[in-house]
Amino acid sequence: MPSSNGPLYLGFDLSTQQLKAIVISSDLRVHYEAKVDFDADLSSKYGIKKGVHVNEAEREVYAPVAMWLEAVDLVLQRLKEKNTPFDRVMGISGAGQQHGSVYWTKQGEELLGGLKTGETLVQQLSEKAFAHPWSPNWQDASTQKECDSFDEELGSENALADATGSKAHHRFTGPQIMRFHKKHPDVYRATSRITLVSSFLASVFLGSIAPFDISDVCGMNLWDIRAGKWSEPLLKIAAGEDGIESLKEKLGEVREDGGGSMGAISEYFVGRYGFNANCAIAPFTGDNPSTILALPLRPLDAIVSLGTSTTFLMSTPNYVPDPSYHFFNHPTTAGLYMFMLCYKNGGLARERIRDTLPKSTTADPWAVFNRVASGTPPLGQKTKSDRAKLGLYFPLPEIVPNVRAGTWRFTCKSDGTDLSESEESWSSEDDARAIVESQVLSLRLRSQKLVHSPEEGMPPQPRRIYVVGGGSLNPAITRIIGDVLGGTEGVYRLDVGGNACALGGAYKAVWAVERKEGESFEQLIGQRWNEEEATVKVDEGYRKDVWGAYGKVLGAFEEMEQQVLAGEERN
Ligand SMILES: Nc1ncnc2c1ncn2[C@@H]1O[C@H](COP(=O)(O)OP(=O)(O)O)[C@@H](O)[C@H]1O
Ligand SMILES: O=C(CO)[C@@H](O)[C@H](O)COP(=O)(O)O
C-alpha cells in the first residue's frame, strides 16, 4: 500500500499474449499490478491461441483489435478491485507490441472523442471504429514480395538499413501496409487513420488519435532515421496507386519528444473509473523500447528479453546500422539509439521442446526441462572427444536467419572444425540444452561487433546482462545465458520478473510529467533507481573456460546457419 498521498503513474504493456498494467509512485516503488491473459481470459470469445489467429496458407498472423479493447476495461476493472486510487494517477504511458497496425475509420475518430461512461469500449468501438477488425501481428510472414520491393527501392538492403535502421522485414509496418493495400484496396480507402499498437493504446486513453512515437516509428521501414523524416520513396511504394499524400494523412504526425503530455485523459476513464481529469497521457512506445526504460541502462549493458519473442537490447550513442539487426531512435533521449536483435522463436519454441519431455510432477511446468538442461554438459559434450552439438529450432519461420520453419541438428569438433549435419537423432534431453544454447549463441554472434572489452584483460562482451520477460524466471536459462554470453559483472534479473516492459512505461510516465527543463530520462530515473532493490543477481556471468568453449564453435554456428540458408528457399 502506498503510504503517502503523492502522485501515482500507470504503465501498460500490450504484448502478444497479455495486457499488463503497473502502478508506481514518484520514487519508483510498485504499488499495484494487474494483467489480462488473452488466452486464459478471452479466448472463448475471440478464438485466439497464444493471443493471435494464424492463416497458414498465406502465412498471416493477426490479432483481434476488439479483444484488446475488452482487455483495457478488464485490466482497469482488476486494478479497481485492488482499490487502486485512480484519482491520484497523474500520468500514463506504456507500450505496444511492435509493428502491428490498426486501421481506424473516420467515424472511429469521432466515436473515440465522445465515449459514454455507461458502456464498455468494445461495445462502443468494435463495430464502427475500425475499417479492419484485425491487426497484423509481428509474427506474420506474408510479405516477402513487398520486402523485396522495399529493399530494391533504395538500391539494396544495406541502403534501406542505413536509412531506416533495418532492412525490410515481413513484420515491419511499411511492407504490411503495402500488402494490405493490394489485398484490401477498399478497406484501405475506408481507413482514415493508421496507428501502431502503441499509438492505438495511447489514442484510447487520449480520446483522439495519438501521433507515432519517435522510437516505435522506426519499426515501420518508412521513417528515415538519418534525415529525421518520412522516406518519400518508401511511402510511395507503400501507398501504391492511391498516392503518397493519402498515406501521409493516414499516418499523421510523428512526435519527436518522448516525454511531456499529449493531452489529458479521456473523460470516459474519468467517469467510469474515477481517474483524475488532469492525468496526462504521455507518448506510448514499442514494447522493446519500453523495456530498455525499466532501468537507467548504460552503454555496454545488455537486456535479454525472454517473452514470446526473444530480444536482445542495448542503448548506444553510435548509429551503426546493418541488415543483420535493428536500430531504433531511443524512446526518450535524442542522440541515443536502441540496438535490437529479435527472434520469433523464443518462448514458444522452448515450450515445444519442454513438452516433448516427461511431464513435470511439481507445480512448475519447467522443472523437468530445467533439470535436464542444467544436467547436460555444454554443447552436449560429456567428454572432450565428443562432438559438439549445435541445433536450430524454428517452429515458426525465423527472422535471423530468414529461413522457413524447421529443425536442424549439426555436430562439429570442439575447435569448431568439421561441421556436418547430424546423422543420428538426438534425444529430447539433448535438445533441452541445445535450444537455449542455440538461441544465446545467435545473440553472441550478432552482437559481437557492438561490444568491446568492459575492463582491462577481459575479452569483448557485455558488462552487465539484465534478463526480463516470462523466461527470466528460469534459472537454467539464465545460467546458460551467463555461460554463452558472459557479462563481466554478471547476469541480473529485474525483480519485476515478467513486468519490465510495463514498468518501463510507468517510469516513462514519471519522467514525462516530473522532468525539469532539459532533465534526461537517465538523469531523473538514475537518481531515483535503487539497483540493489530492483535487481537480483542470478548468475555470475563470465566464466573464462566455458565462455571460451562456446567462442570456439561460434564460427561453426554461423556456418550451420549459412548451410541451412543455402539449402532453403527464402521465406
Ligand atoms: N519459468 C519459466 N521458464 C521459462 N519460460 C517461462 C517461464 N515462465 C514463463 N515463461 C514463458 O514466458 C513467455 C511469456 O512471457 P511474457 O514476457 O509474459 O510474454 P509477452 O510479453 O510476449 O506476452 C511464455 O511463452 C512462457 O513460456
Ligand atoms: O517484433 C518484435 C520486435 O521487433 C517483437 O518483440 C514484438 O514487439 C512482440 O513482442 P513480445 O510480445 O514478445 O513482447
The residue with cell 478488464 is 74
13 Cα to the center of ligand 1, angstroms: 14
Side-chain-facing half-sphere of 33: CA atoms under 13 Å? 14
Ligand 2: which atom is nearest the Cα of residue 15?
12
Most informative mutation of 37, 138, 308 for ligand 1 (most atoms within 8 A of CB): 308
In this predicted structure, what is the pLDDT of residue 404? 87
Of 419, 483, 487, 425, nearest to 455 by C-alpha is 487
Ligand 2: which atom is nearest the Cα of residue 286?
8
- Does 569 have pLDDT greater than 70? no
Residue type, 405: A
- Does 178 have pLDDT greater than 90? yes
Considering the chain, what is the average pLDDT of its residues?
95
Q: Are residues 267 and 200 in the same domain?
A: yes
Let me know: does 306 contact 468? Beta carbons within 8 Å: yes
The pocket around ligand 1, CB under 6 angstroms, is made up of 15-18, 307-308, 347-348, 351, 366, 469-471, 473-474, 498
What's the pTM?
0.92
Read off the pLDDT of residues 71-101 as tens digits, 9 standing for 90 and up: 999 999 999 999 999 999 999 999 999 999 9
95 Cα to the center of ligand 2, angstroms: 11
468 Cα to the center of ligand 2, angstroms: 13
Q: Are residues 38 and 171 in the same domain?
A: yes
Read off the pLDDT of residues 30-53 as tens digits, 9 standing for 90 and up: 999 999 999 999 999 999 999 999
Of 302, 303, 445, 436, nearest to 378 by C-alpha is 436
> Could you give the residue ranges of the DSSP H alpha helices within 402-553?
428-447, 475-485, 500-514, 521-528, 531-534, 544-552
Interface pTM (ipTM) of the complex? 0.95
Read off the pLDDT of residues 118-151 as tens digits, 9 standing for 90 and up: 999 999 999 999 999 999 999 999 999 999 999 9
| Segments forming the whole domain that contains residue 96 | 8-283
Name the residue with the closest Cα to ligand 1, atom 7.
471
Ligand 2: which atom is nearest the Cα of residue 17?
12
Ligand 2: which atom is nearest the Cα of residue 13?
14
346 Cα to the center of ligand 2, angstroms: 10
User: Residues 266-280: what's their mean pLDDT?
Assistant: 98
Considering the chain, what percentage of its residues have pLDDT values greater than 90? 92
User: Residues 429-434: what's their mean pLDDT?
Assistant: 96
Tell me if 259 is assigned to some domain: yes
In this predicted structure, what is the pLDDT of residue 495? 81
In this predicted structure, what is the pLDDT of residue 378? 98
406 Cα to the center of ligand 1, angstroms: 22
Most informative mutation of 97, 305, 306, 348 for ligand 2 (most atoms within 8 A of CB): 97
- Assign residue 115 the CATH number of its domain: 3.30.420.40
Q: Are residues 104 and 84 in the same domain?
A: yes
Q: Are residues 26 and 107 in the same domain?
A: yes
User: Would residue 251 be called left, alpha or beta, if left means φ above 0 and alpha means ψ between -120 and 50 degrees?
Assistant: alpha
CA distance 88 to 275: 7
Three-class DSSP labels, 188-243: HHCCCEEEEHHHHHHHHHHCCCCCEECCHHHHCCCEECCCCEECHHHHHHHHHHHC
Q: Are residues 211 and 321 in the same domain?
A: no
Give the three-class secondary structure for 34.
strand
- Ligand in nearest proximity to the CA of 370: 1
Read off the pLDDT of residues 520-565 as tens digits, 9 standing for 90 and up: 999 999 999 999 999 999 999 999 999 999 999 999 999 999 999 9
Question: Does residue 401 have a cis bond before it (omega within 30 degrees)?
Answer: yes
In this predicted structure, what is the pLDDT of residue 1? 47
Q: Are residues 266 and 306 in the same domain?
A: no
Give the three-class secondary structure for 380.
helix
Tell me if 250 is assigned to some domain: yes
- Does 3 have pLDDT greater than 80? no
Tell me if 535 is assigned to some domain: yes
Tell me if 65 is assigned to some domain: yes
In this predicted structure, what is the pLDDT of residue 258? 98
Tell me if 550 is assigned to some domain: no
96 Cα to the center of ligand 2, angstroms: 9
CA distance 13 to 284: 10
Name the residue with the closest Cα to ligand 2, atom 6.
309
In this predicted structure, what is the pLDDT of residue 402? 85
Read off the pLDDT of residues 281-304 as tens digits, 9 standing for 90 and up: 999 999 999 999 999 998 899 999
Q: Are residues 326 and 229 in the same domain?
A: no
Distance of alpha carbon 395 from its chain centroid, rounded? 19
Name the residue with the closest Cα to ligand 2, atom 10.
97
**Which residues neighbour 331 within 8 Å (Cβ) at sequence distance 6 or greater?**
213, 214, 215, 216, 258, 285, 286, 289, 290, 292, 293, 338, 508
Ligand 2: which atom is nearest the Cα of residue 308?
13
Q: Helix, strand, coil proportions of the chain in percent (round to 5)? A: 40, 20, 40
The pocket around ligand 2, CB under 6 angstroms, is made up of 15-16, 97-99, 138, 171, 219, 286-288, 307-309, 311, 342
Q: Are residues 190 and 274 in the same domain?
A: yes
Tell me if 355 is assigned to some domain: no
Tally of domains within the chain: 2
99 Cα to the center of ligand 2, angstroms: 8
CA distance 209 to 205: 10
- Torsion angle defined by CA atoms of residues 188, 192, 195 and 201, in that order, rounded to the nearest 10 degrees: -130
Count helices and strands (H / E) in the chain: 22, 25
Q: Are residues 15 and 158 in the same domain?
A: yes
Tell me if 376 is assigned to some domain: no
In this predicted structure, what is the pLDDT of residue 4? 67
23 Cα to the center of ligand 2, angstroms: 22
CA distance 315 to 367: 34
Cell numbers describing residue 10: 500507470
Q: Are residues 115 and 18 in the same domain?
A: yes
> Could you give the residue ranges of the DSSP H alpha helices within 47-126?
65-81, 106-113, 121-125
Ligand 2: which atom is nearest the Cα of residue 138?
1
- Ligand in nearest proximity to the CA of 355: 1
Most informative mutation of 474, 479, 493 for ligand 1 (most atoms within 8 A of CB): 474
291 Cα to the center of ligand 2, angstroms: 11
309 Cα to the center of ligand 2, angstroms: 6
In this predicted structure, what is the pLDDT of residue 570? 52
Q: Are residues 243 and 139 in the same domain?
A: yes
Tell me if 431 is assigned to some domain: no
Higher pLDDT, 463 or 497: 463
User: Would residue 94 be called left, alpha or beta, if left means φ above 0 and alpha means ψ between -120 and 50 degrees?
Assistant: left
Question: Could you tell me the pLDDT band of residue 497, with boundaries at 50, 70 and 90?
Answer: low
Q: Are residues 325 and 251 in the same domain?
A: no
Name the residue with the closest Cα to ligand 2, atom 1.
138
